[in-house]
A and B are shown apart, each in its own frame.
Chain A
Amino acid sequence: MTGTLGTGRGTATRLPPASAVQLEQVCKRYGDVSAVDGVTIDVACGTIVAVLGPNGAGKTTLVEMLAGFVTPTSGTVRVLGEDPRRPSRRWRSQVGMVCQATALDPQLTVREMLAAVAGAFPDPLPADEALGLTGLTGQAQTRIQALSGGQQRRADLAAAVIGRPSLLFLDEPTTGFDPAARRQTWTMIERLADRGTTIMLTTHYLDEASQIADRVLVLATGRVIADATPAALRAQAGGTTVRYPVPAGARDLPAVLRRHLGPHDNTIIATGASAVPVLAAIVAWARARRMDLSSLEVGPPALEDAYLTLTRDDQMPSRRTEPSHA
């Protein structure tokens, strides 16, 4: 199945193709392990696409295939109209990437590093502007090895955007950032998208995807199990969500509650048209054990609820929300 979502926020100035990214039945196998399994997507220019999924879902492999570092076992990959395995210099000047691990020479100052990277591009951003965008103006003369982990990630981000990319791949770009730096990065991503830059980011932060993404792809065991706007995903999760972190040491949960227990944490998350049966079971169970219910939450589902529902079992059959056309 293929979906195209949105026509972008701005007008791409240097992009002839209408789609920034096109994948057709793409698979990547490592021996017996299928890292990416039959993925077909089409990303319109100027959109922000968040790729979500548990660890090992295939997010990084997918992004590395799009950047040309990994060869697909089968299928077709086109990025900005070219095969990323045989990219031209022009193509490289239009694509930026931030990898999962910071990749910078520690001996240089931030400004020296940016000047070196900028020199390879035909029309780079001024270094001061890249520094300002990433909140590193005060660290321009600081050697990268002396920066904090979060600042090094921002320096990596500055290097990725200094070439004015038409397409930007961000692999967990805000990992290690403090809340203020994350919000600053979101603003920067939105500004780039406003100029027509297409952005594909992988993230574990669901609030990040909810805040900035036009479209969310959820991967599990290498397959796309959901492809929709954040709002559509939330709607897919149902009407009301009950969330209750079960106190440590609590036992004897009734079966009606156990089936809503998350696999990784001891939290009941139940989403459905009516919250009453689950609420009644929780209240009855807690009353019998004189348990505290101060952490019980009832409300509309968040993106996180939809995500957890989708990824609760990696082996679940593929399901997909047909994206709406913006």
Chain B
Amino acid sequence: MPEPLAPAGVRTRLPGWLPLTGQQAVYQLRLLTRSTRSLLAGVLLPVLVLLMHGTGAGGRGDQLALAGGLAALGVASSAFVTHASTLVIARESGVLRRWRMTPLPPGCFFAGKIAATVVVADASALLTVLVAALTGAPVSAAGAAWMLIPTTAGALTWASLGTAISAFIPAAAAAYPLLTITYLPIMLVSGALGTVSQPAWLTTAATYLPARPVIVATAGALHHPGSWPALAPGQLGVLAGWVTAGLAAALVCFRWDPGRGRPPQRRTARLRSSPA
């Protein structure tokens, strides 16, 4: 005779939104830090570019501009590519559906996941400027700390855009290529690797894309730590616009289920039977 199951407790109230969001953030952070691909894409990419490029050349402003640009590159890579691709993978593997079947409110899921993404993105930015400092860039601790304001704003922006775009990526295998060709050109025309020769209209257009304000504000924070505001009103307005657009698109288009609307597969297979 099997033992009876543990009796139901007296706790019948559903857990609150705040603890659920906190638990989800810890859970997602654990996933991100155990994923080699996400660490490579978000943390090591800017550091490798930094080591290859070097920061010793040029004046103080050039060195800090490069460190800031690469920190912003790491933020975009973590908060856009990694965040969106992990959503696609989780959707395709049925993990999103698993969460949808629990009483976890969707808002808590996204808040927790985005919070974890912001932590990893900020860690990537800090690691990048640390390596920049070790290779000769004049980065101060105050500058690195002040930088977290624009990088956090940038991570939130890219994560909201990544959440939206994940709905349009058909399969996990397509996620990395599609996301990379989406964000990398934007980072380049926005000056993540320094000023590039490009038409004036492209430079103007870049100021309205989500990368440029973060790159400029990050370099500014490293150069003048403590100067307020860390993000100029114009930069903040651009980012707020992208966050709003991203969240609105995510609200309308996000899919929890990999196969909604697809006809079921008709397979001809033998009946599996086993001896009684």
Contacts and interface: CB of A to CB of B under 8 A. Distances in A.
B27 A99 contact: no
A312 to B, nearest CB: 11
B267 A55 contact: yes
Interface string B259-276: 011111111111111111
Interface in A96-144: 96-97, 99, 101-105, 107-108, 112, 116-117, 119-123, 125-126, 129, 133
A60 B264 contact: yes
A191 B6 CA distance: 11
Interface residues of A, number: 62
Contact of B271 (A35, A99, A192, A308): A308
A61 B90 contact: no
A108 B101 contact: no
A104 B94 CA distance: 8
A259 to B, nearest CB: 19
Contacts of B262: 30
Interface string B9-37: 10111110001100110010011001100
B5 interface: yes
A122 B101 contact: no
B98 interface: yes
B274 A122 contact: no
Contacts of A101: 93-94
Nearest to A106: B93
Contacts of A67: 101
A103 B2 contact: no
B170 interface: no
Interface stretch (B49-57, B102-110, B146-154, B186-194): B102-110
Contacts of B14: 89-90, 93, 122
A108 B32 CA distance: 11
Contacts of A133: 5
Given A120-B104, A204-B271, A108 B30 contact: yes
A95 interface: yes
A61 B264 contact: yes
For chain B, give the interface size range: 35 or more
A308 B260 CA distance: 31
Given A107-B35, A126-B6, A308-B271, A159 B15 contact: no
A252 interface: no
Contacts of B2: 187, 191
Contact of B5 (A69, A70, A95, A195): A195
A313 interface: no
B102 A104 contact: no
A30 B264 contact: yes
Contact of A55 (B93, B98, B263, B268): B268
Interface string A13-43: 1100000000000000011010100000000
A316 B14 CA distance: 48
Interface in B212-236: none
Contacts of A122: 11-15, 103
Interface in A39-98: 54-56, 58, 60-61, 67, 69-70, 89-90, 92-93, 95-97
B94 A103 contact: yes
Given A55-B266, A56-B264, A105 B95 contact: yes
14 contacts: A69-B100, A89-B105, A92-B102, A99-B98, A108-B34, A119-B15, A120-B20, A120-B23, A121-B103, A191-B2, A264-B271, A265-B270, A303-B276, A304-B276
Given A89-B105, A121-B102, A204-B271, 11 more contacts: A69-B257, A99-B98, A105-B90, A108-B31, A116-B27, A117-B98, A119-B19, A119-B20, A163-B103, A187-B2, A204-B272
